[in-house]
Structure 1
Amino acid sequence: MKKWIIPVVLIVIIAFWGMSVNNTAVGLQEDATKSWANVESSYQRRNDLIGNLVKTVQGAADFEKSTLEAVINARAKATSVTVDPTNITPEQLAKFNEAQGGLSGALKSLLVTVERYPDLKASQNFLELQSQLEGTENRINVARDRFNEAVAPYNKHVRTLPNKLIAGVLGFNEMGYYKADAGSENAPDVDFEF
């Protein structure tokens, strides 16, 4: 009977350690998943505002059709790309970021083109929408930063030994961080010549 005590105690210790690794990983993964949902919520807010912005611009100006169509198409593409929050990979984030970057570019083009229409620029509705979009872009940035902050402890937990041994068996994989578009470290050129 005494010879079974040590193996049983070791099995119980390993089982409790495994449960601890699992429970911590689940909690950290949920925090990161919630943070990603906040990122998506911020992008959804922007998409909703863009629809209102397009309608305001469309109704107030004899607007260039190609610019308007570019914004509408970029918005449609951006809303079609989704990320599985339970299995966030760098590839998924890159694809999502590419679609959102296309929308940002089209939106910048829209706002620059609006400079041609002084009546529209002075419209209270347009100024309010422009302010809302600026605030939304700030919210998106904060949400992305908070997502990365939530991913860091999860990745540390599932990648460090000895947790890595249990986490891999339980299916906890490293999550990807949100990264900026290539070239975004360079200041954009602003050209108001028409």
Structure 2
Amino acid sequence: MSLPELRTLATQAGFTGSETKIAAAVAMAESKGDPVVIGDQHLVDHKWGPSIGLLQIRSLKHPGQFSPPDTLRVEAKLKDPLYNAKTARAIKDAHNWNQWSTFTSGAYKQYMDGGPTNFEPFPGASFFHTGKKSPIIAATHHRLVAEGCNRYQSSANADVWGPGDVKSFAAWQQKLGFEGVDANGIPGKTSWDKLRVPNV
């Protein structure tokens, strides 16, 4: 879902005023707008299930045993965008936004005004060599995946430049209409700027 769609959803869920923008921004930071994404699976235990959906709400194994708003933490239901957003509002009303790590870290702020406005400048083609490790490369990885150019074998070592990055960036260059040596998987300034990699 896009940021405008998330804001509409937040309004439908009962958020008002600036809270609408915050809810949409937190959702984008948490899930990139994917209503069925599942996270925090490494934190699952006898009490807690994984985090579900747009606002990555921790599910409970037996929510009926708890008091509101925790009774809403039903894994299957949280995959529904509106239910997810309404549950987020109930949790926020009970505990404020500090329940979300993307809020406390400030990661949500980049989505408050329509999306990231500060992007990484082109670091130069020589920056992209096999084995190069950088948070910029991790950010590039995530942007390529978001643009549908995922040619990676796995998401491990996302911050290290390797063959998967070359293949994925080549797919991005081809998507832009480049071909031949201009689509060799090594970023050039034009293809880099169009990818809009957020500042890290």
Q: TM-score range by the shorter chain?
A: under 0.3
Larger gyration radius, structure 1 or structure 2:
1
More strand per residue: 2
Larger relative contact order (CA 8 Å, sep ≥ 6)? 1
What TM-score do you get using the length of structure 1 for normalisation? Answer: 0.21
More helix per residue: 1
What TM-score do you get using the length of structure 2 for normalisation? Answer: 0.20
